[in-house]
Amino acid sequence: MNLEERLLNGDKRACARLITMIENDEQEAIEIVKKLYKHTGRAYIIGITGPPGSGKSTLTDKLTKELRRRGKKVGIIAIDPTSPFTGGAILGDRIRMNDLALDPGVFMRSMGTRGSLGGLSRATQGAIRVLDLYGADYIFIETVGVGQSEIDIVKTADTVLMVMVPNLGDDIQAIKAGIMEIADVFAVNKSDLDGADKTVVEIEMTLDLNEKKDYRPPVVQVIANKNKDVDILLDKVIEHKNYLESSGELKKRRSRNIKLEILKLVQEELMGIILSKTKQGSYIEQLSESVSSREIDPYTAKDKIIDLMED
Amino acid sequence: MDKPIRVLVAKPGLDGHDRGAKVVARALRDAGMEVIYTGLRQTPEQIVAAAIQEDVDVVAMSILSGAHNHLFPKVVNLLREQGVDDVLIIGGGVIPEDDIPGLKAAGIEEIFTPGTRTKDIIEFIKSHLKR
């Protein structure tokens, strides 16, 4: 059997190898995804995001087990940061999910960001397609620990689950733009800590200020490491899924995301063309020198590069 | 960016001493590798399942409990049973000299004992990759 048939048969090794090939930009993998693309879109994508140490991995582990109890097949992509200096990474999300490894209905993969800045890895979208074809009913995407503006997850997930913890900051943090705006469901994890109620109230007050819509993100208190109320949280995620499906919003959300993905692919390809037209960037180096010695300005340098594209 | 080498760093067995494994993980990271760190007390079955799903180039295991003669070969055998033969397997920890030839014969390609420089581990990995 070839790679493609093995993937469609739910073979974990084939699935793993294809994700590697996608991460490494191998044309063969892209051809397989192209060929099978019409069969994708079946899996439901849940993004799990939140600050470092908020318990995203532990919560993903527990939500996965709950979905398994409900008979669903689950894929997980967990992302940790790649060092911008060495290109290396420590991917540690498996530590909290070790006993999922042996479950035949779960496929879990760790990825480094590899230069991507929005909280996901560059190949996330491709890896989702592979897991979809592998047969996952639900796919969790666990982002890197986010600060305030890593919001690429909203361009990728169907439901965004924001994991908060008590005592992270005053309530003005909650009304800043950015990560607070993208959540469809809020989990206040470690809710046995003091201040959990206050965190819930702050989130609710922020939501009160939002424009009134058909759907209001629920806020659920959980204690992930004790598996407390994780089932209730999952129900809220499923309610959001049902809302998106029945209101037609899911279709809208996905087509918006596809448009963004196409633009990103075009952008990457154009950067590649620019690099090859500028002798792998050495002409850009040269221009940068001229700009830093004030011989020319950055706008003129940009025009010179754009001129090359017209040849 | 070119393809980083992916390494699973795992601690099979029951001892709780992971300082060595963490030092190695950090050194491999600084050498530009992607290190999947799985934490303590992994069964051979869990290590093999993780190695397959993560599609790693290298499995690096550390044991300080004395169970190396049982656990290291078990991981090699389970990987072979699954048809995985293109992964470099190395081990480390407090391993008596006398045990090393037997472990190598069982398919552990190198054993690094206390005092090994991390530079040597990195060099070994880079020059012995199987794919």
pLDDT reading at B18 higher than 90 = no
The proportion of chain B whose per-residue pLDDT surpasses 70, expressed as a percent, equals 98
Residue A225 vs residues A60, A189, A190, B37: alpha-carbon distances, Å = 11, 9, 8, 20
> Is the Cβ of A87 closer than 8 Å to some Cβ of chain B?
yes
The proportion of chain A whose per-residue pLDDT surpasses 70, expressed as a percent, equals 96
List the single range of A131-145, A198-212, A233-247 with lowest mean pLDDT. A198-212
A56 vs A206: which has the higher pLDDT? A56
Does any domain span residue B36? yes
CATH label of the domain that carries residue B98: 3.40.50.280
Does any domain span residue B10? yes
Alpha carbons A161 and A54: distance in angstroms, whole number = 12
Q: Indicate the pLDDT class of residue B30, thresholds 50, 70 and 90.
A: very high
- Which token pair is A148? 């305030």
Q: What's the structural domain count of chain B?
A: 1
Among B67, B43, B62, residue whose Cα is nearest residue B118: B62
pLDDT reading at B53 higher than 90 = yes
Strand pairing of A74-80 and A106-112?
Answer: parallel
- At the fourth CATH level, the homologous superfamily of domain A40-249 is P-loop containing nucleotide triphosphate hydrolases (3.40.50.300)
Q: In angstroms, what separates the C-alpha of A24 from chain B's closest C-alpha?
A: 6
Q: Indicate the pLDDT class of residue A311, thresholds 50, 70 and 90.
A: low
- Which token pair is B99? 């045990």
> Residues of B with CB below 8 A from A15's CB?
53
Q: Where are the alpha helices (DSSP H) in chain A?
A: 3-8, 12-23, 27-36, 56-69, 124-134, 196-209, 230-247, 249-277, 282-292, 298-309
Burial of B119 (0-12, 13-18, 19+ CB in 10 A): exposed
Please tell me the predicted confidence (pLDDT) of residue A205: 86
Among A58, A70, A103, A102, residue whose Cα is nearest residue A228: A58
Range of the domain at B73: 6-128
Alpha carbons A199 and A193: distance in angstroms, whole number = 11
Amino acid identity, position A77: I
Burial of A298 (0-12, 13-18, 19+ CB in 10 A): exposed
Amino acid identity, position B119: K
Does any domain span residue B15? yes
* Among candidates A86, A98, A102 on the partner chain, residue whose Cβ is nearest the Cβ of B39: A98
Using the beta-carbon criterion (under 8 Å), do A110 and B36 form an inter-chain contact? yes
Residue boundaries of the structural domains of chain A: 40-249, 261-309
